[in-house]
Structure 1
Amino acid sequence: MPGLPMRAVAAQVMQAVEQGQSLTQCLPPALKRLPENERPALQALCFGTCRWFFQLDDELNSRLKKPLKPADRLIHHLMLVALFQLRHSEQATYAVLNETVEACRRLDKPHLTGLVNAVLRAAEREGGPTARSDYERYAHPPWMVEKLRHNWPDDWAAILEANNTQAPMTLRVNARRFSRDTYLGLLTEAGIEASATHFAPHGIQLARPVPVDRLPYFEDGAVSVQDEAAQLCTTLLDLAPGQRVLDACAAPGGKTCAILEACEGLQEVVAIDESAERLPRIEENLERLDLHATVQQADAAQTNQWWNGNEFDRILLDVPCSATGVIRRHPDIKLLRRESDILPLASIQLGLLEALWPTLKPGGRLVYATCSVFPQENQRIIRRFLKQTTEAILLDLDVPWGRETEAGRQMLPAPNGHDGFFYAVLEKPEQ
């Protein structure tokens, strides 16, 4: 429906998420339907409604005498968007009420305008309800709260709170172009407040997000946007000139580029990803940074389809995972992920390790990474692999970041800091 008001478009996006689409899939086309000046507000509405969905949905359901008919489900989402603004934004109340009622009318549901008006006026008059459970208080699905409580008995609440914050904008300075200190100076000259990251040697964290076109020399490849935790992969790979490096599951290419920036003189970097749709992102990043890698579409686990028998000195295996360490960047994960997803993901993760191990040269190193905070996808995968692969050696990581686990280091999402991430480093002995 072209020409719909912003809140109506936000409701359509939320309905698409409920039906299984990610914000990455359904938000970009929705943004294009609005004038440019309304697009940041739409993005904020959709991200915020996803972030607080479980809290807002409980409140709305308690205010409805009976659920709306399936054909009217879009209006349920419209009211969720409005509740988000009433509870978590500084938008004027009268504007939220009036414009939501108008959006209901524009969505061809004039018979529901009275209900929408009554529900929202009551919500505004009575204020937010007291949370009846941890699920409501922290706005996460029940299964996730319970799993985190079990896995992290001392940290679960802090993880949930961190997930509900806005992640900082973090940059990786291209060491081939600038030192970090030099680029910090350029940011100061541009009026952008920033500081060096604590752990990543080329990382810079901005005090406030800015459009990338405001970053000095961005289009010339001076910096990339990448979380500090993700940047640490290059410090663990122990790169050296002449090495062949594999970046498995490489899209969108941030780590591929980080590898190439971190060490000049690598013999070859091979970047593979199963998704044909995401391969152009790798190529775009390489082109902007003036870097070269061998990019292939392939399922990393099916080595007979892409591997030529030439072994790799280094492998970065950033496996598909639940992404529970990056919920603050992708709040739709709360709605999209199911507990039943974890076991199949763990099977894929172990399968990738098993498949890629033979492609690693004796004396070589494999870095296993996830953006998950669940041990089931992290140290337990490494333990299972070590139990069946006697020639694999788990390295102790002498690093100042993360929590030591029985097999690898776990970073939990840090407020105003890095994402949740897991790393383990395996070596294959010389023959």
Structure 2
Amino acid sequence: MNKNRYYGTHILYRVLIKHEHLKSAMTAVLPKTIEAQDKAWIQHICYMSLRHYFSLSARWQKFLHKPLKDQLVGQLLTLSLAQKFYAQAPDHAIVHEAVNTAGMLKKSWAKGLINTVLKQSLADRDFRSGNAQQQYEHPDWWLALVKKDWPDDWTDIIRANNQPPPLWIRCRPGLTDCPGRPHAQLSNARLINDKQLPHDLLAQGHISVQDAAAQWAAHLLNPQNDERILDACAAPGGKSCHLLELNPNIQLDILEQDPQRLQLIDDNLQRLNLTARRLIQGDATEPDTWYREPKYDKILLDVPCSASGVVRRHPDIKLLRQPEDMTLLTRLQTRILQAAAKLLADGGRLLYVTCSVFRAENERQIKRFLTNNPDFSEQTIIIPDSQKCKYGVQILPGQADMDGFYYCLLRK
């Protein structure tokens, strides 16, 4: 088990100090031969460490006389306390294993410090969150923005972000024995326990893992026979596949800039035995390099965003994202939206989607677009358990057990 803590410490270091995404860090650190049970434990403890990073790190920092310069040792302390509060490990085992792991990390000088600080932290019954970051487990700038955008709902949003996510699957239309609790409105969505994921049905292409909020996209676009449809920024392809499942008689073009992510889409299509008209490697902001006539009847535009609505699935996001990223993202979204608008036929519909709760990426983006494009108008859409915005609708994280998603349907 010490090796698992060794791997976990290095993963946290790569995320928090090297600013890598959690999945990339896990891929880089973990050996391909690692046992599934060990991998699951490491993933769980890393998720818990990141989800509760602000309070966990404050617990051990309280007992230092001066800041700890060695960041690897700091991540080991954070991970060790995550074992206590989110893996129910006994105190003596936590201390013993952390000291041993320090040796594996070639940090023998820190064994005494780790032993003392952990014992004090584990025995501390008087810890109180000292600031909003520690209390709500989010950066100050993020909290300020959520409070501004959702003054009546911000505590519910933050609370949902700090919870483990539920597991939704999408069943192939016509599958009669799809497991789980049905969604009230989405006919093929099922909520299941992650320990009950039917891997055989997954491998056979009968189900896909996809949150219920994301499953609204294909239904709102409502694909009809022979329609020319573009799914831009499509990876990993869940919404593309869902469109083809709802109607295999569409002419679907799938666009993705990253060749590896485009291959992932192709893999998903093959697993589900689905066929698109074209898989295109290209930049959504530069359609001149890949677009062919005629124009599209419908466009699905799931744009790059802050991912602030899916933090419970990706707790590294709230630690990696910076305030200045918002400006870059909103500019990119504007460029993609403007470029896609030129590819839509008159009378066509464009569905703008983000997995964000920040209004700058959502309704304010649409307001700017409609001001600059008077030939477009908003179409009414209804999603139960969502919030009506000035433009579009917002599903907040945790509403009806769904992730945070924004939708706005536009007609040219």
Which TM-score bucket, shorter chain as reference?
over 0.9
Alpha-carbon contact 1:168-1:205 (below 8 Å) kept: yes
Deviations 1:332-386 (A, max 9, x none): 0011101111111011111111001010111110000000000000000000000
Letter in 2 for 1:199: Q
1:59 matched residue in structure 2 = 59
Q: CA deviation at 1:416?
A: 6.9
Q: C-alpha separation between the residues in 2 aligned to 1:163 and 1:364?
A: 36
Question: What is the aligned counterpart of 2:233 among 222, 235, 249?
Answer: 249
Q: CA deviation at 1:200?
A: 2.3
Deviations 1:137-174 (A, max 9, x none): 11111111111111111111111110011111100011
After TM superposition, the structure 1 stretch with the greater mean CA deviation from structure 2, 52-61 or 13-22, is 52-61
Question: What is the aligned counterpart of 1:265 among 234, 249, 271?
Answer: 249
Q: Is 1:236 aligned with 2:220? A: yes
2:112 matched residue in structure 1 = 114
Q: Is 1:218 aligned with 2:202? A: yes
Q: CA deviation at 1:32?
A: 2.7
CA distance 1:98–1:49, change in 2 (3 Å): same
1:31 matched residue in structure 2 = 30
Letter in 2 for 1:198: A
CA distance 1:399–1:158, change in 2 (3 Å): closer
Letter in 2 for 1:112: A
Q: CA deviation at 1:211?
A: 6.9
Q: Is 1:417 aligned with 2:401? A: yes
Alpha-carbon contact 2:189-2:212 (below 8 Å) kept: yes
Letter in 2 for 1:42: I
Q: C-alpha separation between the residues in 1 aligned to 2:36 and 2:168?
A: 25
2:43 matched residue in structure 1 = 43
1:191 matched residue in structure 2 = none
Question: What is the aligned counterpart of 1:9 among 7, 10, 30?
Answer: 7
Q: CA deviation at 1:4?
A: 6.7
Alpha-carbon contact 2:2-2:97 (below 8 Å) kept: no
Question: In structure 2, the residue corresponding to 1:316 is in which secondary structure?
Answer: strand
1:190-201 equivalences under 5 Å are 194-201=180-187
Q: CA RMSD in A?
A: 1.6
Q: CA deviation at 1:269?
A: 0.7
Deviations 1:168-205 (A, max 9, x none): 11000111x51xxx233xx3xxxxxx201233221000
Q: C-alpha separation between the residues in 2 aligned to 1:376 and 1:331?
A: 21
Q: C-alpha separation between the residues in 1 aligned to 2:408 and 2:126?
A: 44
1:147-158 equivalences under 5 Å are 147-158=145-156
Letter in 2 for 1:38: D
TM-score (norm 1): 0.92
2:336 matched residue in structure 1 = 352
Q: C-alpha separation between the residues in 2 aligned to 1:5 and 1:24?
A: 19
Question: What is the aligned counterpart of 2:124 among 118, 123, 126?
Answer: 126
Q: CA deviation at 1:210?
A: 2.8
1:280-291 equivalences under 5 Å are 280-291=263-274
Alpha-carbon contact 2:60-2:118 (below 8 Å) kept: no
What percentage of residue pairs aligned between the two structures are identical? 34
Q: C-alpha separation between the residues in 2 aligned to 1:210 and 1:307?
A: 43
Q: Is 1:311 aligned with 2:281? A: no
After TM superposition, the structure 1 stretch with the greater mean CA deviation from structure 2, 293-302 or 383-392, is 293-302
Q: CA deviation at 1:62?
A: 2.2
1:296 matched residue in structure 2 = 280
Q: CA deviation at 1:133?
A: 2.2
Question: In structure 1, the residue corresponding to 2:401 is in which secondary structure?
Answer: coil
Q: C-alpha separation between the residues in 2 aligned to 1:282 and 1:394?
A: 30
Alpha-carbon contact 1:87-1:128 (below 8 Å) kept: no
2:142 matched residue in structure 1 = 144
Q: C-alpha separation between the residues in 2 aligned to 1:134 and 1:199?
A: 37
Letter in 2 for 1:93: D
Question: In structure 2, the residue corresponding to 1:257 is in which secondary structure?
Answer: helix
Letter in 1 for 2:163: T
Q: CA deviation at 1:121?
A: 0.2
**Structure 2 residues without counterparts, runs of 5 or longer:** none
Alpha-carbon contact 2:387-2:395 (below 8 Å) kept: yes
**Structure 1 residues without counterparts, runs of 5 or longer:** 188-193
Question: What is the aligned counterpart of 2:191 among 205, 208, 212?
Answer: 205
Q: C-alpha separation between the residues in 1 aligned to 2:26 and 2:400?
A: 25
Letter in 1 for 2:44: A
Q: C-alpha separation between the residues in 2 aligned to 1:257 and 1:356?
A: 20
Q: CA deviation at 1:279?
A: 1.2
Question: In structure 2, the residue corresponding to 1:361 is in which secondary structure?
Answer: strand
2:369 matched residue in structure 1 = 385
Q: CA deviation at 1:73?
A: 1.4
CA distance 1:321–1:98, change in 2 (3 Å): same
Q: C-alpha separation between the residues in 2 aligned to 1:297 and 1:135?
A: 40
Q: Is 1:84 aligned with 2:69? A: no
Alpha-carbon contact 2:205-2:273 (below 8 Å) kept: yes
Q: Is 1:22 aligned with 2:21? A: yes
Q: CA deviation at 1:29?
A: 3.5
Q: C-alpha separation between the residues in 1 aligned to 2:38 and 2:222?
A: 46
Alpha-carbon contact 2:386-2:394 (below 8 Å) kept: yes
